[in-house]
Amino acid sequence: MNASPKLVRVTEQGVDWAKVRADFPTLKRTVHGKPLVYLDNANTAQKPHQVIEAVDDFYRNHNANVSRAVHQLGEEATALYEGARDKLAAFLGANHRDEIVLTSGTTMATNLVAYSYLLPRLKPGDAVLVTAMEHHADIVPWQLVCKLTGAHLKVAPITESGELIVDEFVAALTPEVKFAGVAHVSNVLGTVNPVKELARECRKRGIPLLVDGSQAAPHLPLNVKAIGCDFYVVTGHKMCGPTGTGALWARRELLESMPPFFGGGEMIRTVSFEGTTFADSPHRFEAGTPNTAGFAGLGVAIDYLSGIGMANIAAREHALLAYATPRLEAIPGLRIFGKVPDKAAVISFLIDGVHAHDLATLLDQEGVAVRSGHHCAHPLMQFYGVSGTCRASLAFYNTEAEIDALVTAIGRVRKLLA
Question: Which of 238, 251 has the CB closer to ligand PLP?
Answer: 238
- Residue 2: name the closest of 74, 66, 65, 60 by CA: 60
Q: Does 389 interact with ligand PLP (rule: CB under 6 A)? A: no
Q: Which of 67, 187, 292, 372 binds ligand PLP (CB under 6 A)?
A: 187
Q: Which stretch binds ligand PLP (CB under 6 A): 56-64, 117-125, 135-143, 249-257?
A: 135-143
Roughly what angle, to the nearest 10 degrees, separates helices 292-308 and 49-57? 150
Q: Which of 57, 99, 126, 212 binds ligand PLP (CB under 6 A)?
A: 212
- Residue 356: name the closest of 406, 393, 391, 403 by CA: 391
- Minimum Å gap between C-beta 193 and ligand PLP is 11
Q: Does 107 interact with ligand PLP (rule: CB under 6 A)? A: yes
Q: Which stretch binds ligand PLP (CB under 6 A): 49-57, 105-113, 121-129, 248-256?
A: 105-113
Q: Does 106 interact with ligand PLP (rule: CB under 6 A)? A: yes
- Minimum Å gap between C-beta 187 and ligand PLP is 3
Q: Does 214 interact with ligand PLP (rule: CB under 6 A)? A: yes
DSSP state of 136: G
For the segment 305-344, give every residue that binds ligand PLP (CB under 6 A).
none
Q: Does 193 interact with ligand PLP (rule: CB under 6 A)? A: no
Q: Which stretch binds ligand PLP (CB under 6 A): 132-140, 192-200, 283-291, 344-352?
A: 132-140
Question: Which of 46, 67 has the CB closer to ligand PLP?
Answer: 46
The pair phi, psi for residue 234, each rounded to 5°, is -140, 160
- Report whether 325 contacts 335 (CB < 8 A): no
- Residue 268: name the closest of 290, 295, 287, 249 by CA: 287
Q: Does 215 interact with ligand PLP (rule: CB under 6 A)? A: yes
Q: Tell me if residue 161 falls in helix, strand or coil.
A: coil
Question: Which of 15, 390 has the CB closer to ligand PLP?
Answer: 390
- Report whether 344 contacts 317 (CB < 8 A): yes
Q: Which of 51, 112, 119, 137 binds ligand PLP (CB under 6 A)?
A: 137
- Minimum Å gap between C-beta 52 and ligand PLP is 19
- Minimum Å gap between C-beta 248 and ligand PLP is 11
What is the DSSP secondary-structure string of 228-284?
T-SEEEEEGGGGTS-TT-EEEEE-HHHHHTPPPSS-STTSEEEEETTEEEEPPTTGG
Q: Does 292 interact with ligand PLP (rule: CB under 6 A)? A: no
- Minimum Å gap between C-beta 215 and ligand PLP is 5
Question: Which of 282, 367 has the CB closer to ligand PLP?
Answer: 282
- Minimum Å gap between C-beta 407 and ligand PLP is 25
Question: Which of 78, 187 has the CB closer to ligand PLP?
Answer: 187
Could you tell me whether strands 14-15 and 10-11 are parallel, antiparallel, or unpaired per DSSP bridges?
Answer: antiparallel
Question: Which of 137, 207 has the CB closer to ligand PLP?
Answer: 137
How many chain residues touch ligand PLP (CB under 6 A)?
Answer: 14
Q: How far is Cα 21 from Cα 5, in angstroms, rounded to an integer?
A: 15
Could you tell me whether strands 37-38 and 368-369 are parallel, antiparallel, or unpaired per DSSP bridges?
Answer: parallel
The dihedral region occupied by 28, where left means phi > 0, alpha psi between -120 and 50, and beta the remainder, is alpha
What is the DSSP secondary-structure string of 26-93?
GGG-EETTEE-EE-BTTT-----HHHHHHHHHIIIII---TTS--SHHHHHHHHHHHHHHHHHHHHHT
**Of residues 146, 229, 376, 390, which has the active-site annotation?**
376
* Segments of 370-413 assigned E as strands: 371-373, 389-393
Q: Does 41 interact with ligand PLP (rule: CB under 6 A)? A: no
Question: Which of 107, 149 has the CB closer to ligand PLP?
Answer: 107
Helices first, then strands: H and E counts in the chain: 14, 19
Q: Does 299 interact with ligand PLP (rule: CB under 6 A)? A: no
User: b/e map of 198-222 (b: 16 or more CB within 10 Å)?
Assistant: bbebbeeeebbbbbbbbbbbbbbeb
Q: How far is Cα 158 from Cα 208, in angstroms, rounded to an integer?
A: 21
Q: Does 183 interact with ligand PLP (rule: CB under 6 A)? A: yes
376 is catalytic: yes
Residues acting as catalytic residues: 376
Contact footprint for ligand PLP (CB under 6 A): 105-107, 135, 137-138, 183, 187, 212, 214-215, 235, 237, 376
